[in-house]
Amino acid sequence: MTFVRIGGVPHHVVAEGSGPVCVLSAGLGMSWFDWDPVVPHLAPYRTVVRFDRPGHGLSAPAAAPPTAAGEADRIAAVLDALGHRGPAVVVGHSIAGFHAEAFARLHPERTAGLVLVDSSVEEDPRPARTTAPARALGAVLAAAGLPAALGPAVRDLAVRAGTVRRGAPGPDPALVRRVYRTSRVLRGTLLENARYEAVAAELLALREDRPLPPGLPVTVLAAPDGSARWERRQRALARRLGARYETAEPSGHLVMRDRPDTVARAVLDVRSRQEGAVDARGDVRSGQEGA
């Protein structure tokens, strides 16, 4: 296993495959191994970089609460640490969709494309003033021994709720126990959740000040799973970003587990879209925001 130090915090990273670089960043409370089903579809054609944000997976706890700019810079720092300084396709799932979009806005010269996988959407975020309650709750739950007792079971319930495929192979149970029996992951998840709306508000501000690069290939890959309201919000996000809109069906929120082939295709399509060979599978926009 590889660790790189960013801002004084050890980050767990995994890089495999060859070719143009893509970065996969998972949602709240998830780990690098949640992308395992996608990697075999990508590694023959791409250098696939996965990393755990602070307090997630095997990475050390966060030194400071997350921000949109900080998470964008973290992605850049991970790529720097691995020696990848050229443009990369950035894939963000759920809350990491905020981070991926922020990266494209703050590091446009390093962004080859953007794939938002059932990304979080907040039209009117109302940030909490402090993360103190989340920190206090984490301390209480850790002192009570709940992560060690219930952490893997809670993760299993979350995965079941977020997927429609049953019986699909999952990660090594020993790895799941190693990660989710720790209070570090509980605290990291609570901290990110407490900062969720603040990060969303920061991203809305970035949309006003930092346009996406002209012509950047952007895909919004949604899993409506029967929710008309969620589909409307995902389509609105695609329109706002001038993105191609696609659905992953059937799929729950954890699209990378239910439809890894669809996620991989969205990543691999970036090159053909850059070359102007856009197919007709989805709703295609001009690549300009607000189109």
* 4-35 tens-digit pLDDT: 999 999 999 999 999 999 999 999 999 999 99
Apex 135 CA angle, 133 and 140, nearest 5: 95
Average pLDDT on 156-171 reads 91
Question: What pLDDT score does 276 carry?
Answer: 60
Residue 127 has pLDDT above 90, yes or no: yes
CA distances from 33 to 93, 167, 176 (A): 13, 17, 9
* Long-range contacts of the stretch 146-151 (C-beta < 8 A, 24+): 146/186, 147/180, 147/181, 147/182, 147/183, 147/185, 147/186, 148/181, 148/182, 148/183, 151/180, 151/181, 151/182, 151/185, 151/186
Given a contact cutoff of 8 angstroms between Cβ atoms, the answer to whether 285 and 133 are in contact is no
One-character DSSP codes across 122-144: -SS----S-SHHHHHHHHHHHHT
How does the average pLDDT of the chain come out, rounded?
A: 93
Question: What pLDDT score does 284 carry?
Answer: 40
Give the three-state DSSP class for 220.
Answer: strand
Residue 218 has pLDDT above 50, yes or no: yes
Share of the chain above pLDDT 70, in %: 94
User: What span, in angstroms and rounded, lies between the C-alpha atoms of 231 and 222?
Assistant: 7
CA distances from 66 to 95, 177, 208, 211, 273 (A): 12, 25, 21, 22, 32
User: What span, in angstroms and rounded, lies between the C-alpha atoms of 70 and 64?
Assistant: 10
Reading the block at residue 208, the tokens are 């006003």
- Side chain identity, residue 22: C
Q: Which of 88-97, 195-204, 263-272 has the lowest mean pLDDT?
A: 263-272
User: What span, in angstroms and rounded, lies between the C-alpha atoms of 273 and 181?
Assistant: 43
Question: What pLDDT score does 290 carry?
Answer: 42
* Residue 81, Ramachandran bin (φ over 0: left; ψ between -120 and 50: alpha; else beta): alpha
Q: Is the peptide bond before 250 cis (omega within 30 degrees of 0)?
A: yes
Out of 99-113, 156-170, 271-285, give the one with best mean pLDDT. 99-113
Dump pLDDT digits (tens) for 72-86: 999 999 999 999 999
Given a contact cutoff of 8 angstroms between Cβ atoms, the answer to whether 89 and 44 are in contact is no
Dump pLDDT digits (tens) for 264-279: 999 999 977 776 634 4
User: What span, in angstroms and rounded, lies between the C-alpha atoms of 288 and 87?
Assistant: 19
Query: Bridge partners of 91?
Result: 24, 115
User: What span, in angstroms and rounded, lies between the C-alpha atoms of 96 and 256?
Assistant: 13
Dump pLDDT digits (tens) for 130-145: 999 999 999 999 999 9
Average pLDDT on 35-52 reads 98
Residue 87 has pLDDT above 80, yes or no: yes
